[in-house]
Amino acid sequence: MKDTQYMMEALRLAEKGMSYVAPNPLVGAVIVKNDVIIGTGYHQRYGGAHAEIEAIRAAGRNTQGSTMYVTLEPCATRWKGKKHPPCTDAILAAGIREVHIAHKDPNKKVHGKGIELLRKNGVTVTEGLCKQDAMLMNQAYITNTYFKKNFIHLKIAMSLDGVMSLNNGDSKWISGSEARKEVHSLRARYQSVMVGAATVRKDNPLLTVRHVEGPNPARIILDHNASTPIDAHIVETACETKTVLFISESSIKAQFKKIEMLTRASVECIEIPLHYGRSLKSFLAHSVERLYEMGITSVLLEGGRRVAKACLELGLWDRLSVYISPMILGTGVSVFPEMEEPIISMKDAQRYLTRWMPRDDGMHVECYNPTCLVDL
User: H-helix or E-strand containing 286?
Assistant: helix 280-293
Closest CA relative to residue 71, chosen from 119, 25, 125 = 25
* 52 is an active site residue: yes
Chain centroid to Cα 251, Å, comes to 31
Chain centroid to Cα 196, Å, comes to 19
How far is 125 from 364, CA to CA, in rounded Å?
A: 37
Give counts: helices (H), strands (E), the chain: 13, 16
Check: CB of residue 203 under 8 Å from CB of residue 232.
no
Check: CB of residue 288 under 8 Å from CB of residue 318.
no
Closest CA relative to residue 151, chosen from 369, 347, 375 = 369
Check: CB of residue 104 under 8 Å from CB of residue 376.
yes
The answer to whether the Cα torsion of 19, 21, 23, 24 is positive or negative is negative
How far is 88 from 337, CA to CA, in rounded Å?
A: 49
Q: List alpha helices for 163-276, DSSP H.
A: 177-189, 197-203, 233-236, 249-254, 256-264
- List Cα–Cα distances, 316 to 95, 147, 198, in angstroms: 46, 13, 20
Partner residues linked to 67 by β-bridges: 32, 98
Who contacts 30 (Cβ-Cβ below 8 Å, separation ≥6)? Answer: 6, 7, 9, 10, 13, 37, 39, 40, 55, 68, 69, 70
Which member of 9, 15, 52, 249 is catalytic? 52
Who contacts 182 (Cβ-Cβ below 8 Å, separation ≥6)? Answer: 364
DSSP of 257-279, one letter per residue? HHHHHHHHTT-EEEEE-GGGSSS
Neighbours of 215 (CB within 10 A): 15
Among all residues, which ones are annotated catalytic?
52
